[in-house]
Chain A
Amino acid sequence: MPVKRTFVGSVVALAAFVSFTLASTPGAAQTSGTYTPPKTREGQPDLQGIWQVLNTAAWDIQDHSATLGVPAGRGVVEGNEIPYTPAALAKKQENFKNREALDPVNKCFLPGVPRVTYMPYPFQIVQQADRVTILYEYSRVIRFVYMNGNPHPAGHIDWYMGDSRGRWDGNTFVVDVTDFNDETWFDRAGNHHSDALHVVERFTRTGPDHMLYEVTIEDPKVFTRPWKMSMPLYRRQEKDVELLEYECGAYLLKQEWDKPNSQLFR
Protein backbone atom coordinates (compact mmCIF):
# COMPACT_ATOMS: atom_id res chain seq x y z
CA MET A 1 0.00 0.00 0.00
CA PRO A 2 1.48 3.34 -0.92
CA VAL A 3 2.55 5.45 1.99
CA LYS A 4 0.24 8.37 2.48
CA ARG A 5 2.07 11.55 1.78
CA THR A 6 0.82 13.81 4.48
CA PHE A 7 3.18 16.04 6.30
CA VAL A 8 2.06 17.48 9.55
CA GLY A 9 3.72 20.50 11.00
CA SER A 10 6.70 22.23 9.65
CA VAL A 11 8.99 20.40 7.38
CA VAL A 12 12.23 20.08 9.16
CA ALA A 13 14.93 20.03 6.59
CA LEU A 14 17.08 17.22 7.74
CA ALA A 15 20.72 17.73 7.23
CA ALA A 16 20.43 16.39 3.76
CA PHE A 17 23.94 15.88 2.78
CA VAL A 18 26.46 15.15 5.39
CA SER A 19 29.97 14.64 4.27
CA PHE A 20 32.36 12.71 6.32
CA THR A 21 35.99 13.27 6.62
CA LEU A 22 37.39 9.90 7.23
CA ALA A 23 40.96 8.84 7.21
CA SER A 24 41.55 7.94 3.62
CA THR A 25 42.85 4.51 2.90
CA PRO A 26 44.88 3.19 0.02
CA GLY A 27 41.90 1.26 -1.33
CA ALA A 28 39.88 4.37 -2.02
CA ALA A 29 42.59 6.02 -3.99
CA GLN A 30 42.96 3.27 -6.55
CA THR A 31 41.11 5.14 -9.17
CA SER A 32 40.12 8.62 -8.60
CA GLY A 33 42.30 10.34 -10.84
CA THR A 34 41.76 11.81 -14.08
CA TYR A 35 39.16 9.89 -15.99
CA THR A 36 36.51 12.20 -17.38
CA PRO A 37 33.28 10.35 -18.09
CA PRO A 38 31.10 11.20 -21.07
CA LYS A 39 28.09 13.38 -20.37
CA THR A 40 24.40 12.60 -20.69
CA ARG A 41 22.13 14.73 -22.87
CA GLU A 42 21.34 16.71 -19.73
CA GLY A 43 25.05 17.41 -19.25
CA GLN A 44 25.67 15.18 -16.24
CA PRO A 45 28.39 12.53 -15.94
CA ASP A 46 26.99 9.44 -17.63
CA LEU A 47 26.72 6.47 -15.26
CA GLN A 48 24.12 4.67 -17.35
CA GLY A 49 24.37 1.03 -18.27
CA ILE A 50 24.31 -2.39 -16.66
CA TRP A 51 26.74 -2.88 -13.77
CA GLN A 52 27.62 -5.64 -11.32
CA VAL A 53 30.15 -6.34 -8.60
CA LEU A 54 32.68 -9.17 -8.74
CA ASN A 55 33.23 -9.93 -5.09
CA THR A 56 31.94 -11.97 -2.16
CA ALA A 57 30.42 -9.16 -0.11
CA ALA A 58 26.94 -10.63 -0.50
CA TRP A 59 28.05 -13.44 1.81
CA ASP A 60 30.26 -11.44 4.14
CA ILE A 61 31.47 -7.86 3.82
CA GLN A 62 34.53 -8.71 5.93
CA ASP A 63 37.49 -11.01 5.19
CA HIS A 64 36.27 -14.58 5.40
CA SER A 65 37.29 -18.13 4.68
CA ALA A 66 35.43 -20.48 2.38
CA THR A 67 32.66 -22.79 3.51
CA LEU A 68 30.43 -25.08 1.48
CA GLY A 69 28.97 -22.96 -1.31
CA VAL A 70 30.67 -19.78 -0.12
CA PRO A 71 33.91 -18.64 -1.76
CA ALA A 72 36.62 -17.18 0.45
CA GLY A 73 36.85 -13.46 0.05
CA ARG A 74 38.59 -10.23 0.81
CA GLY A 75 36.26 -7.91 2.63
CA VAL A 76 35.00 -4.62 1.27
CA VAL A 77 35.15 -2.83 4.64
CA GLU A 78 38.03 -0.40 4.77
CA GLY A 79 40.37 -1.64 7.50
CA ASN A 80 38.15 -4.76 7.76
CA GLU A 81 36.91 -3.92 11.27
CA ILE A 82 33.30 -2.86 11.87
CA PRO A 83 33.11 -0.65 14.96
CA TYR A 84 30.16 -2.29 16.72
CA THR A 85 29.19 -1.38 20.22
CA PRO A 86 29.61 -4.43 22.51
CA ALA A 87 25.87 -5.18 22.51
CA ALA A 88 25.65 -4.81 18.74
CA LEU A 89 28.63 -7.12 18.27
CA ALA A 90 26.92 -9.76 20.37
CA LYS A 91 23.84 -9.43 18.20
CA LYS A 92 25.94 -9.80 15.06
CA GLN A 93 27.39 -13.04 16.41
CA GLU A 94 23.93 -14.30 17.28
CA ASN A 95 22.71 -13.36 13.79
CA PHE A 96 25.62 -15.28 12.25
CA LYS A 97 24.77 -18.41 14.22
CA ASN A 98 21.14 -18.26 13.15
CA ARG A 99 21.65 -16.72 9.75
CA GLU A 100 19.66 -19.29 7.77
CA ALA A 101 16.53 -18.55 9.78
CA LEU A 102 17.06 -14.85 10.42
CA ASP A 103 18.51 -13.37 7.22
CA PRO A 104 15.68 -11.20 5.82
CA VAL A 105 16.84 -11.98 2.28
CA ASN A 106 16.00 -15.63 2.92
CA LYS A 107 12.39 -14.44 3.18
CA CYS A 108 12.85 -12.53 -0.10
CA PHE A 109 12.34 -9.18 1.57
CA LEU A 110 13.81 -6.04 0.02
CA PRO A 111 17.54 -6.25 0.77
CA GLY A 112 18.25 -2.68 1.83
CA VAL A 113 21.08 -0.33 0.92
CA PRO A 114 23.96 -0.87 0.24
CA ARG A 115 23.39 -4.65 0.24
CA VAL A 116 21.33 -4.55 -2.96
CA THR A 117 24.35 -3.16 -4.80
CA TYR A 118 26.66 -6.09 -4.13
CA MET A 119 24.28 -8.98 -4.45
CA PRO A 120 25.33 -11.22 -7.33
CA TYR A 121 22.84 -9.78 -9.81
CA PRO A 122 23.25 -6.95 -12.33
CA PHE A 123 21.58 -3.58 -12.03
CA GLN A 124 20.90 -0.81 -14.49
CA ILE A 125 21.31 2.94 -13.94
CA VAL A 126 18.92 5.25 -15.81
CA GLN A 127 19.47 9.01 -15.57
CA GLN A 128 17.19 11.99 -15.94
CA ALA A 129 18.03 15.59 -15.06
CA ASP A 130 16.35 15.50 -11.65
CA ARG A 131 16.22 11.79 -10.89
CA VAL A 132 18.44 8.75 -11.14
CA THR A 133 16.59 5.45 -11.21
CA ILE A 134 18.38 2.22 -10.36
CA LEU A 135 16.77 -0.99 -11.56
CA TYR A 136 17.98 -4.19 -9.93
CA GLU A 137 17.52 -7.62 -11.46
CA TYR A 138 17.10 -9.06 -7.95
CA SER A 139 13.33 -9.16 -7.33
CA ARG A 140 12.91 -6.22 -9.72
CA VAL A 141 13.86 -3.89 -6.88
CA ILE A 142 13.69 -0.28 -7.97
CA ARG A 143 15.28 2.79 -6.37
CA PHE A 144 14.39 6.37 -7.20
CA VAL A 145 17.13 8.86 -6.28
CA TYR A 146 15.64 12.32 -6.42
CA MET A 147 17.57 15.52 -7.18
CA ASN A 148 14.54 17.79 -7.39
CA GLY A 149 15.43 20.11 -4.52
CA ASN A 150 13.31 18.30 -1.95
CA PRO A 151 15.14 17.36 1.25
CA HIS A 152 14.48 14.03 2.93
CA PRO A 153 10.81 14.09 3.95
CA ALA A 154 9.99 14.88 7.55
CA GLY A 155 10.51 11.51 9.13
CA HIS A 156 11.02 9.12 10.53
CA ILE A 157 9.75 6.73 7.83
CA ASP A 158 10.48 3.01 8.11
CA TRP A 159 11.50 1.91 4.62
CA TYR A 160 13.51 -1.15 3.61
CA MET A 161 15.40 0.78 0.92
CA GLY A 162 15.39 4.14 2.67
CA ASP A 163 14.84 7.59 1.16
CA SER A 164 17.50 8.51 -1.40
CA ARG A 165 18.47 12.08 -2.33
CA GLY A 166 21.25 12.63 -4.88
CA ARG A 167 23.66 15.36 -5.89
CA TRP A 168 26.70 15.74 -8.11
CA ASP A 169 30.07 16.35 -6.51
CA GLY A 170 32.16 17.00 -9.62
CA ASN A 171 32.01 13.75 -11.55
CA THR A 172 30.86 11.79 -8.50
CA PHE A 173 27.22 10.95 -7.89
CA VAL A 174 26.56 11.23 -4.16
CA VAL A 175 23.44 9.62 -2.68
CA ASP A 176 22.33 10.40 0.87
CA VAL A 177 20.01 7.72 2.25
CA THR A 178 17.98 7.90 5.48
CA ASP A 179 14.61 6.61 6.72
CA PHE A 180 15.48 2.96 7.02
CA ASN A 181 13.76 0.34 9.09
CA ASP A 182 15.87 -2.00 11.24
CA GLU A 183 14.89 -5.11 9.29
CA THR A 184 17.65 -5.44 6.71
CA TRP A 185 21.18 -6.77 7.01
CA PHE A 186 24.40 -5.84 5.23
CA ASP A 187 25.22 -9.43 4.21
CA ARG A 188 24.49 -13.10 4.88
CA ALA A 189 26.88 -13.05 7.85
CA GLY A 190 24.49 -11.11 10.06
CA ASN A 191 26.05 -7.66 9.92
CA HIS A 192 23.21 -5.39 10.95
CA HIS A 193 22.04 -1.85 11.70
CA SER A 194 19.18 0.02 13.37
CA ASP A 195 16.56 2.41 12.03
CA ALA A 196 19.06 5.22 12.71
CA LEU A 197 21.14 4.04 9.76
CA HIS A 198 22.46 6.81 7.53
CA VAL A 199 24.17 5.77 4.30
CA VAL A 200 26.14 7.98 1.93
CA GLU A 201 27.01 6.35 -1.40
CA ARG A 202 29.50 7.74 -3.90
CA PHE A 203 29.51 6.50 -7.52
CA THR A 204 32.59 7.61 -9.51
CA ARG A 205 33.37 6.46 -13.05
CA THR A 206 37.02 5.42 -13.21
CA GLY A 207 37.11 4.26 -16.80
CA PRO A 208 34.88 3.32 -19.71
CA ASP A 209 33.78 0.10 -18.03
CA HIS A 210 34.55 0.65 -14.35
CA MET A 211 33.04 2.63 -11.52
CA LEU A 212 34.17 3.05 -7.92
CA TYR A 213 31.40 2.51 -5.36
CA GLU A 214 32.13 3.93 -1.92
CA VAL A 215 29.77 3.81 1.03
CA THR A 216 29.89 5.54 4.40
CA ILE A 217 27.82 3.91 7.14
CA GLU A 218 26.71 5.81 10.21
CA ASP A 219 24.41 4.46 12.92
CA PRO A 220 25.05 5.73 16.45
CA LYS A 221 22.78 3.06 17.97
CA VAL A 222 24.97 0.27 16.57
CA PHE A 223 28.42 1.64 15.70
CA THR A 224 30.84 3.72 17.73
CA ARG A 225 31.95 5.70 14.66
CA PRO A 226 31.21 5.95 10.94
CA TRP A 227 32.90 3.35 8.72
CA LYS A 228 33.36 2.77 5.03
CA MET A 229 33.09 0.16 2.30
CA SER A 230 34.48 0.47 -1.19
CA MET A 231 34.51 -1.76 -4.25
CA PRO A 232 34.64 -1.51 -8.01
CA LEU A 233 31.58 -1.96 -10.19
CA TYR A 234 32.07 -3.56 -13.58
CA ARG A 235 30.10 -2.84 -16.73
CA ARG A 236 28.62 -6.05 -18.09
CA GLN A 237 30.26 -6.71 -21.43
CA GLU A 238 28.12 -9.42 -22.99
CA LYS A 239 26.52 -8.65 -26.33
CA ASP A 240 22.85 -7.85 -25.86
CA VAL A 241 23.15 -8.00 -22.07
CA GLU A 242 19.89 -7.08 -20.35
CA LEU A 243 18.36 -7.41 -16.92
CA LEU A 244 16.52 -10.71 -16.66
CA GLU A 245 14.18 -11.88 -13.92
CA TYR A 246 14.81 -13.17 -10.41
CA GLU A 247 11.43 -13.21 -8.65
CA CYS A 248 12.65 -14.33 -5.25
CA GLY A 249 9.27 -14.24 -3.52
CA ALA A 250 7.55 -16.24 -6.23
CA TYR A 251 10.17 -19.00 -6.27
CA LEU A 252 10.14 -19.27 -2.49
CA LEU A 253 6.35 -19.53 -2.30
CA LYS A 254 6.23 -22.11 -5.06
CA GLN A 255 8.80 -24.21 -3.25
CA GLU A 256 7.12 -23.95 0.14
CA TRP A 257 3.40 -24.00 -0.72
CA ASP A 258 2.86 -27.74 -0.43
CA LYS A 259 5.39 -28.48 2.32
CA PRO A 260 3.43 -29.68 5.34
CA ASN A 261 5.52 -27.87 7.95
CA SER A 262 6.87 -24.87 6.11
CA GLN A 263 8.04 -22.10 8.42
CA LEU A 264 6.74 -19.61 5.88
CA PHE A 265 3.12 -20.02 6.94
CA ARG A 266 3.54 -19.97 10.70
Chain B
Amino acid sequence: MKQWLFAILGTAAAVLFVLPMTGRAAGGEPQAFYRPDTPKFPQARTWVAQKAELPPYKAPRTPDGVPNLQGNWNGPIGGGNDDLEEHDYIDVTTPPQESYVSDPPDGKVPYTPWALAKRNEIRAGLARGWPGETGQRLYGDPNALCLVGMPRLSFGAQEILQKPGAVIMLTTNTYRVIPTDGRPHMSSSAKSFFGNSRGRWEGETLVVDITGLNGETWIDSAGNFYGPNTHMVERWTMVEANTIDYQITIDDPSLYTRPWTMTYPKRRAGTGPGANPLSTTAVGAAGNVGTDPYAKEFWEQTCTEGNHDNLVVLKKLGFKWFNPPTP
Protein backbone atom coordinates (compact mmCIF):
# COMPACT_ATOMS: atom_id res chain seq x y z
CA MET B 1 0.00 0.00 0.00
CA LYS B 2 2.65 2.47 0.99
CA GLN B 3 4.84 1.52 -1.92
CA TRP B 4 1.99 2.31 -4.22
CA LEU B 5 1.29 5.70 -2.75
CA PHE B 6 4.90 6.68 -2.98
CA ALA B 7 4.92 5.64 -6.59
CA ILE B 8 2.14 8.15 -7.15
CA LEU B 9 4.08 10.86 -5.46
CA GLY B 10 6.70 9.80 -7.90
CA THR B 11 9.73 11.22 -6.19
CA ALA B 12 12.76 9.18 -5.40
CA ALA B 13 13.24 11.33 -2.35
CA ALA B 14 9.94 10.21 -0.90
CA VAL B 15 10.81 6.59 -1.49
CA LEU B 16 14.23 6.95 0.06
CA PHE B 17 12.85 8.85 3.01
CA VAL B 18 10.05 6.52 3.88
CA LEU B 19 11.21 3.02 3.08
CA PRO B 20 13.69 2.88 5.94
CA MET B 21 10.82 3.53 8.32
CA THR B 22 8.57 0.89 6.83
CA GLY B 23 11.49 -1.39 6.16
CA ARG B 24 9.78 -4.70 6.85
CA ALA B 25 7.61 -6.49 4.37
CA ALA B 26 4.94 -8.96 5.42
CA GLY B 27 6.69 -11.86 7.00
CA GLY B 28 9.32 -9.74 8.64
CA GLU B 29 11.81 -10.19 5.84
CA PRO B 30 13.93 -7.16 5.04
CA GLN B 31 12.49 -4.97 2.32
CA ALA B 32 14.74 -4.73 -0.70
CA PHE B 33 15.28 -2.36 -3.56
CA TYR B 34 15.11 -4.47 -6.68
CA ARG B 35 17.09 -3.94 -9.85
CA PRO B 36 16.47 -4.89 -13.45
CA ASP B 37 18.95 -7.74 -13.02
CA THR B 38 17.29 -9.13 -9.85
CA PRO B 39 16.66 -12.83 -10.52
CA LYS B 40 13.02 -13.66 -11.22
CA PHE B 41 11.16 -14.64 -8.05
CA PRO B 42 9.73 -18.15 -8.27
CA GLN B 43 5.98 -18.52 -7.72
CA ALA B 44 3.40 -21.00 -9.02
CA ARG B 45 5.36 -22.66 -11.82
CA THR B 46 8.37 -23.38 -9.63
CA TRP B 47 6.29 -24.35 -6.60
CA VAL B 48 4.08 -26.78 -8.54
CA ALA B 49 7.22 -28.53 -9.83
CA GLN B 50 8.79 -28.64 -6.35
CA LYS B 51 5.59 -29.91 -4.79
CA ALA B 52 5.41 -32.80 -7.24
CA GLU B 53 8.73 -34.08 -5.90
CA LEU B 54 7.71 -34.07 -2.22
CA PRO B 55 7.05 -37.39 -0.47
CA PRO B 56 3.52 -37.91 0.87
CA TYR B 57 2.98 -36.12 4.17
CA LYS B 58 0.44 -36.65 6.90
CA ALA B 59 0.09 -33.70 9.26
CA PRO B 60 -0.02 -34.09 13.04
CA ARG B 61 -3.59 -34.05 14.36
CA THR B 62 -5.33 -31.74 16.81
CA PRO B 63 -7.15 -33.30 19.79
CA ASP B 64 -10.22 -33.26 17.51
CA GLY B 65 -8.45 -35.49 15.02
CA VAL B 66 -8.10 -33.04 12.14
CA PRO B 67 -4.83 -31.85 10.58
CA ASN B 68 -3.07 -29.40 12.88
CA LEU B 69 -2.33 -26.22 10.92
CA GLN B 70 -1.73 -24.09 13.99
CA GLY B 71 1.16 -21.66 14.15
CA ASN B 72 2.50 -18.56 12.48
CA TRP B 73 2.65 -18.65 8.69
CA ASN B 74 4.24 -16.28 6.23
CA GLY B 75 2.83 -15.27 2.88
CA PRO B 76 4.69 -16.00 -0.35
CA ILE B 77 8.23 -14.72 -0.63
CA GLY B 78 9.24 -12.16 -3.20
CA GLY B 79 7.80 -8.89 -4.31
CA GLY B 80 4.35 -9.50 -2.91
CA ASN B 81 1.30 -9.38 -5.10
CA ASP B 82 1.96 -6.11 -6.89
CA ASP B 83 1.12 -7.89 -10.14
CA LEU B 84 -0.07 -11.46 -9.85
CA GLU B 85 0.72 -12.38 -13.47
CA GLU B 86 4.25 -13.15 -14.64
CA HIS B 87 6.24 -10.02 -15.31
CA ASP B 88 9.72 -8.66 -15.73
CA TYR B 89 11.24 -5.95 -13.55
CA ILE B 90 8.84 -3.01 -13.30
CA ASP B 91 10.29 -0.73 -10.63
CA VAL B 92 12.38 -0.80 -7.44
CA THR B 93 9.58 -2.38 -5.42
CA THR B 94 8.28 -4.70 -8.16
CA PRO B 95 10.92 -7.27 -9.09
CA PRO B 96 10.65 -9.81 -11.90
CA GLN B 97 8.35 -12.58 -10.75
CA GLU B 98 6.61 -15.71 -11.99
CA SER B 99 2.82 -15.72 -12.04
CA TYR B 100 0.86 -16.80 -8.97
CA VAL B 101 -1.56 -18.48 -11.38
CA SER B 102 -1.02 -22.24 -11.66
CA ASP B 103 -4.09 -22.88 -13.79
CA PRO B 104 -4.51 -22.03 -16.64
CA PRO B 105 -0.95 -23.09 -17.40
CA ASP B 106 -0.12 -19.84 -19.21
CA GLY B 107 -0.33 -18.03 -15.88
CA LYS B 108 -2.85 -15.46 -17.12
CA VAL B 109 -6.15 -14.58 -15.48
CA PRO B 110 -8.70 -15.91 -18.04
CA TYR B 111 -10.75 -12.74 -18.30
CA THR B 112 -13.61 -12.44 -20.75
CA PRO B 113 -12.78 -9.84 -23.42
CA TRP B 114 -14.63 -6.93 -21.77
CA ALA B 115 -13.19 -7.76 -18.34
CA LEU B 116 -9.67 -7.90 -19.76
CA ALA B 117 -10.21 -4.52 -21.38
CA LYS B 118 -11.42 -3.20 -18.04
CA ARG B 119 -8.42 -4.61 -16.18
CA ASN B 120 -6.12 -3.01 -18.73
CA GLU B 121 -7.95 0.29 -18.42
CA ILE B 122 -7.56 0.20 -14.62
CA ARG B 123 -3.90 -0.67 -14.99
CA ALA B 124 -3.29 2.15 -17.44
CA GLY B 125 -4.74 4.59 -14.89
CA LEU B 126 -2.76 3.54 -11.84
CA ALA B 127 -0.33 6.46 -12.21
CA ARG B 128 2.49 4.41 -10.72
CA GLY B 129 4.95 5.34 -13.43
CA TRP B 130 4.57 1.88 -14.96
CA PRO B 131 4.95 1.22 -18.70
CA GLY B 132 1.79 1.63 -20.75
CA GLU B 133 0.03 4.12 -18.50
CA THR B 134 -2.12 6.82 -20.07
CA GLY B 135 -1.05 9.49 -17.60
CA GLN B 136 -4.63 9.76 -16.36
CA ARG B 137 -5.48 8.78 -12.80
CA LEU B 138 -8.36 6.34 -12.51
CA TYR B 139 -8.47 4.21 -9.36
CA GLY B 140 -6.05 3.75 -6.52
CA ASP B 141 -5.45 0.36 -4.98
CA PRO B 142 -8.29 -0.01 -2.43
CA ASN B 143 -5.68 -1.34 -0.01
CA ALA B 144 -4.27 2.19 0.21
CA LEU B 145 -7.61 3.22 1.75
CA CYS B 146 -7.26 0.52 4.44
CA LEU B 147 -9.75 -1.68 2.61
CA VAL B 148 -8.84 -5.32 3.02
CA GLY B 149 -10.59 -8.24 1.36
CA MET B 150 -10.18 -11.70 -0.01
CA PRO B 151 -8.07 -13.26 -1.35
CA ARG B 152 -5.43 -10.71 -0.53
CA LEU B 153 -5.60 -11.33 3.19
CA SER B 154 -4.17 -14.81 2.63
CA PHE B 155 -1.16 -13.35 0.80
CA GLY B 156 -0.03 -11.88 4.09
CA ALA B 157 1.23 -13.57 7.22
CA GLN B 158 -1.20 -14.92 9.77
CA GLU B 159 -1.48 -17.09 12.83
CA ILE B 160 -3.81 -20.07 12.54
CA LEU B 161 -5.67 -21.28 15.63
CA GLN B 162 -8.00 -24.26 15.71
CA LYS B 163 -10.94 -24.80 17.99
CA PRO B 164 -13.61 -27.49 17.84
CA GLY B 165 -15.80 -26.54 14.88
CA ALA B 166 -13.73 -23.56 13.72
CA VAL B 167 -10.45 -22.44 12.24
CA ILE B 168 -9.39 -18.92 13.25
CA MET B 169 -6.90 -16.83 11.31
CA LEU B 170 -5.34 -13.83 13.05
CA THR B 171 -3.18 -10.91 12.01
CA THR B 172 -2.21 -7.95 14.16
CA ASN B 173 -5.31 -6.04 13.09
CA THR B 174 -7.87 -8.35 11.57
CA TYR B 175 -9.16 -11.91 11.69
CA ARG B 176 -11.26 -14.58 10.01
CA VAL B 177 -13.34 -17.15 11.86
CA ILE B 178 -14.09 -20.08 9.54
CA PRO B 179 -16.77 -22.44 10.85
CA THR B 180 -16.05 -26.11 10.11
CA ASP B 181 -19.18 -27.44 11.78
CA GLY B 182 -21.17 -28.01 8.61
CA ARG B 183 -23.44 -25.00 8.93
CA PRO B 184 -24.81 -23.63 5.65
CA HIS B 185 -23.75 -20.37 4.03
CA MET B 186 -25.69 -17.19 4.66
CA SER B 187 -27.61 -15.93 1.68
CA SER B 188 -25.10 -14.77 -0.91
CA SER B 189 -27.12 -11.56 -1.22
CA ALA B 190 -25.44 -10.46 2.04
CA LYS B 191 -22.13 -9.07 0.75
CA SER B 192 -18.96 -8.29 2.64
CA PHE B 193 -15.25 -7.69 2.07
CA PHE B 194 -14.24 -11.10 3.47
CA GLY B 195 -17.37 -12.91 2.28
CA ASN B 196 -18.97 -15.78 4.12
CA SER B 197 -16.48 -18.62 4.71
CA ARG B 198 -17.43 -22.23 5.35
CA GLY B 199 -14.69 -24.77 5.99
CA ARG B 200 -14.56 -28.54 5.77
CA TRP B 201 -11.81 -31.13 6.06
CA GLU B 202 -11.08 -33.32 3.06
CA GLY B 203 -8.36 -35.69 4.25
CA GLU B 204 -5.28 -33.53 4.74
CA THR B 205 -6.88 -30.41 3.34
CA LEU B 206 -8.89 -27.58 4.85
CA VAL B 207 -11.30 -26.52 2.11
CA VAL B 208 -12.85 -23.08 2.58
CA ASP B 209 -15.80 -22.13 0.40
CA ILE B 210 -16.35 -18.36 0.21
CA THR B 211 -19.53 -16.72 -1.03
CA GLY B 212 -21.09 -13.29 -0.50
CA LEU B 213 -17.96 -11.35 -1.52
CA ASN B 214 -18.59 -7.70 -2.36
CA GLY B 215 -15.86 -7.39 -5.01
CA GLU B 216 -14.82 -3.96 -3.74
CA THR B 217 -11.15 -4.82 -3.30
CA TRP B 218 -8.56 -6.12 -5.75
CA ILE B 219 -6.65 -9.36 -6.02
CA ASP B 220 -3.34 -7.52 -6.35
CA SER B 221 -2.29 -3.88 -6.47
CA ALA B 222 -2.25 -3.76 -10.28
CA GLY B 223 -5.99 -3.77 -10.88
CA ASN B 224 -6.74 -7.47 -11.21
CA PHE B 225 -10.31 -7.63 -9.94
CA TYR B 226 -13.25 -9.85 -9.09
CA GLY B 227 -16.87 -9.04 -8.42
CA PRO B 228 -19.95 -9.44 -6.26
CA ASN B 229 -20.83 -12.74 -7.92
CA THR B 230 -17.39 -14.29 -7.56
CA HIS B 231 -17.03 -17.61 -5.78
CA MET B 232 -13.70 -18.56 -4.20
CA VAL B 233 -12.52 -21.89 -2.82
CA GLU B 234 -9.32 -22.07 -0.79
CA ARG B 235 -7.41 -25.28 -0.14
CA TRP B 236 -4.93 -25.31 2.76
CA THR B 237 -2.78 -28.48 2.90
CA MET B 238 0.32 -29.15 4.96
CA VAL B 239 2.80 -30.80 2.61
CA GLU B 240 5.82 -30.66 4.92
CA ALA B 241 6.23 -29.96 8.64
CA ASN B 242 6.79 -26.27 7.94
CA THR B 243 4.95 -25.69 4.65
CA ILE B 244 1.31 -25.18 3.76
CA ASP B 245 0.40 -25.53 0.11
CA TYR B 246 -2.12 -22.74 -0.45
CA GLN B 247 -4.43 -22.85 -3.43
CA ILE B 248 -7.34 -20.60 -4.26
CA THR B 249 -9.71 -21.19 -7.15
CA ILE B 250 -11.66 -18.16 -8.33
CA ASP B 251 -14.77 -18.55 -10.45
CA ASP B 252 -17.15 -16.03 -11.96
CA PRO B 253 -18.64 -16.68 -15.42
CA SER B 254 -19.45 -12.99 -15.77
CA LEU B 255 -15.74 -12.09 -15.56
CA TYR B 256 -13.68 -15.14 -16.48
CA THR B 257 -13.93 -17.71 -19.26
CA ARG B 258 -13.13 -20.52 -16.79
CA PRO B 259 -12.27 -21.02 -13.10
CA TRP B 260 -8.65 -20.21 -12.38
CA THR B 261 -6.27 -21.05 -9.55
CA MET B 262 -3.39 -19.38 -7.74
CA THR B 263 -0.90 -21.54 -5.81
CA TYR B 264 1.94 -20.70 -3.46
CA PRO B 265 3.64 -22.09 -0.38
CA LYS B 266 3.15 -20.54 3.04
CA ARG B 267 6.16 -21.20 5.26
CA ARG B 268 6.11 -21.44 9.02
CA ALA B 269 7.64 -18.29 10.46
CA GLY B 270 11.40 -18.58 10.80
CA THR B 271 11.62 -21.28 8.11
CA GLY B 272 11.83 -21.35 4.34
CA PRO B 273 14.15 -19.67 1.84
CA GLY B 274 15.87 -16.61 3.23
CA ALA B 275 14.08 -16.71 6.59
CA ASN B 276 15.53 -15.44 9.83
CA PRO B 277 15.34 -18.47 12.17
CA LEU B 278 15.07 -16.17 15.18
CA SER B 279 11.95 -14.57 13.79
CA THR B 280 9.17 -16.75 15.08
CA THR B 281 6.42 -14.22 14.67
CA ALA B 282 5.41 -13.95 11.06
CA VAL B 283 2.77 -11.41 11.87
CA GLY B 284 3.95 -7.89 12.49
CA ALA B 285 7.46 -6.66 12.99
CA ALA B 286 10.16 -9.27 13.27
CA GLY B 287 11.41 -9.61 16.80
CA ASN B 288 14.38 -11.58 18.03
CA VAL B 289 13.19 -14.28 20.42
CA GLY B 290 16.68 -14.55 21.87
CA THR B 291 16.76 -11.04 23.23
CA ASP B 292 13.22 -9.65 23.19
CA PRO B 293 10.68 -11.23 25.56
CA TYR B 294 7.92 -9.50 23.59
CA ALA B 295 9.04 -10.83 20.20
CA LYS B 296 6.21 -13.36 20.00
CA GLU B 297 3.49 -10.89 20.89
CA PHE B 298 1.18 -9.13 18.43
CA TRP B 299 1.02 -5.43 19.14
CA GLU B 300 -1.51 -2.85 18.02
CA GLN B 301 -1.40 -1.97 14.35
CA THR B 302 -3.62 0.81 13.07
CA CYS B 303 -4.54 1.85 9.54
CA THR B 304 -7.52 4.21 9.26
CA GLU B 305 -6.33 6.14 12.32
CA GLY B 306 -3.11 7.27 10.63
CA ASN B 307 -4.27 7.42 7.04
CA HIS B 308 -5.75 10.92 6.87
CA ASP B 309 -2.89 12.49 4.95
CA ASN B 310 -2.90 9.67 2.40
CA LEU B 311 -6.63 10.15 1.85
CA VAL B 312 -6.21 13.86 1.27
CA VAL B 313 -3.49 13.24 -1.30
CA LEU B 314 -5.46 10.56 -3.14
CA LYS B 315 -8.53 12.79 -3.28
CA LYS B 316 -6.54 15.80 -4.49
CA LEU B 317 -4.90 13.71 -7.18
CA GLY B 318 -8.36 12.86 -8.51
CA PHE B 319 -8.54 9.12 -7.98
CA LYS B 320 -12.09 7.74 -8.24
CA TRP B 321 -13.85 5.37 -5.87
CA PHE B 322 -13.57 1.81 -7.17
CA ASN B 323 -16.85 -0.03 -7.66
CA PRO B 324 -16.77 -3.53 -9.11
CA PRO B 325 -17.12 -3.18 -12.90
CA THR B 326 -20.06 -4.68 -14.76
CA PRO B 327 -20.28 -5.42 -18.48
Contact = CB atoms under 8 A, between A and B. Distances in A.
Given A5-B299, A240-B183, A249-B146, A142 B170 contact: yes
Nearest to A41: B63
Interface stretch (A74-82, A199-207, A209-217, A253-261): A253-261
Contacts of A250: 145-147, 193, 216
Contacts of B222: none
Given A140-B174, A146-B297, A109 B304 contact: yes
Contact of B22 (A1, A142, A153): A1
Contact of A124 (B177, B299, B301, B304): B177
A144 B297 contact: yes
B177 A135 contact: yes
Contacts of A121: none
B197 to A, nearest CB: 9
A190 B303 CA distance: 24
B125 interface: no
Contacts of B190: 244
B53 interface: no
Interface stretch (B6-14, B113-121, B246-254, B287-295): B287-295
Interface residues on A, range: 35 or more
Interface in A102-129: 107-110, 124, 126, 128
B175 A142 contact: yes
B321 interface: yes
A126 B305 contact: no
A29 interface: no
B312 A159 contact: no
A87 interface: no
B24 interface: yes
A242 interface: yes
B256 to A, nearest CB: 25
Interface string B283-317: 01101000011111111111111100001100110
A5 B283 CA distance: 13
B302 A128 contact: no
Nearest to A133: B170
Contacts, number: 107
Given A7-B292, A140-B175, A250-B216, A2 B161 contact: no
A4 B321 contact: no
A153 B292 CA distance: 11
Contacts of A109: 304-305
A2 B24 contact: yes
A146 B298 CA distance: 10
A1 B25 CA distance: 10
A253 B145 contact: yes
Interface in B85-113: none
B236 to A, nearest CB: 19
Interface in B181-203: 183-184, 190, 192-194
A224 B292 CA distance: 37
A245 B285 contact: no
Nearest to A127: B163
Contacts of B179: 240, 242
Given A1-B22, A126-B168, A159 B300 contact: yes
A109 B300 CA distance: 13
A243 interface: yes
B172 A2 contact: yes
B299 A3 contact: yes
A254 B191 CA distance: 15
B315 A265 contact: yes
B21 interface: yes
A66 B172 CA distance: 38
Interface of B: 21-22, 24, 63, 145-147, 161, 163, 168, 170-175, 177, 179, 183-184, 190, 192-194, 216, 284-285, 287, 292-306, 311-312, 315-316, 321
Interface of A: 1-5, 7, 41, 48, 107-110, 124, 126, 128, 133, 135, 140, 142, 144, 146, 148, 150, 153, 159-161, 163, 240, 242-245, 247-250, 253-254, 257-258, 264-266
Given A240-B179, A240-B184, 18 more contacts: A2-B284, A2-B301, A5-B295, A7-B294, A124-B177, A133-B161, A140-B173, A142-B173, A150-B293, A150-B294, A159-B300, A160-B300, A245-B193, A247-B147, A248-B304, A250-B193, A257-B321, A265-B312
